[in-house]
A = this chain, B = another copy of it.
């Protein structure tokens, strides 16, 4: 089949690349990931699956988890969430603290660290940290229809030990009253959520509801309303790649969310849920080959949301 060939071609092209970016090295478990990996999984609306490269190898989803956290939090508190988190691209790095000062502790969007920390705080309401973490994990497992997905404790522990900037962000927002639980508890949830380990196939499965107006097709249940699914996609397009979001949209025309582990989840609404993974990062902290692979996929398939649709 045509798409099988496209996916295989891209994987082969990526395998031949020498400029692979720089693997994240701020915690040992991430630094130990071999730079030569590349995986890709494309799941079509009808459930057909196309895999290539290291699509079955587990990696740390890191900030991609922010999409799932946002989805859960919207389910929990609805649009009241937007009183505590903005919806605008920040124009700054993922861990910048500058904007919080002038904007009184309200993070610009749910996909920068500060925003995702507020969301972790929301997910703690009524739950102990362990329960909140369990809720997120169960949610991701149900999205992917795969109960084997789990959290890499070594990653979570390492984050907790070295995550001083996140502690700074959390304390700063607490100072403005925009965290309601103790900082240690909120970051406990946040770091565990980020430490979920998945492979490309599982991640693409977990993203199916985003291409499908909020419904997980095979499972037959609705995760969010159609409107909310589209809006999460809009946020992924505006804010999913930190201060590289505009460029990612320019190149791929797809909503996507990257993680510092080298993964990217992208969505072609109505068509496909796509996961790519390659651990080398570009200067803005997004997977170098992952971005490139998605750019090529969009070019060859015409899946850009800006491609004219047939009426």
Contacts and interface: CB of A to CB of B under 8 A. Distances in A.
A169 B308 CA distance: 36
A97 B306 contact: no
Contact residues of A: prevailing secondary structure: helix
A96 B87 contact: no
Contacts of A211: 308
A139 interface: no
A64 B250 CA distance: 19
B167 A307 contact: no
A246 B175 contact: no
Contacts of A87: 246-247, 250
B183 A175 contact: no
Interface in A234-252: 234-235, 237-239, 243-247, 249-250
Nearest to A179: B164
A305 interface: yes
B250 A308 contact: no
Interface in A184-238: 211-213, 227, 229-231, 233-235, 237-238
Contact of A249 (B100, B213, B234, B250): B234
Contact of A238 (B89, B98, B299): B89
Classify chain A's interface size: 35 or more
A233 B170 CA distance: 36
Nearest to A270: B308
Interface string A61-98: 00000000000000000000000001111111000111
Identical copies of this chain, number:
4
Contacts of A230: 253, 304, 306-307
A289 B90 CA distance: 25
Given A270-B309, A307-B269, A246 B238 contact: yes
Contacts of A270: 307-311
Contacts of A244: 88
Nearest to A239: B246
B245 A238 contact: yes
A249 B253 contact: no
Given A183-B167, A250-B238, A89 B245 contact: yes
Given A91-B88, A230-B307, A238-B246, A171 B175 contact: no
Contact of A101 (B89, B90, B98, B227): B98
10 contacts: A45-B311, A89-B89, A97-B172, A168-B171, A239-B246, A255-B306, A270-B307, A270-B308, A270-B309, A309-B309
Given A88-B245, A168-B170, 16 more contacts: A88-B89, A89-B89, A89-B238, A164-B171, A167-B171, A168-B171, A213-B307, A230-B306, A233-B253, A234-B246, A234-B249, A255-B306, A269-B307, A270-B307, A270-B308, A310-B310
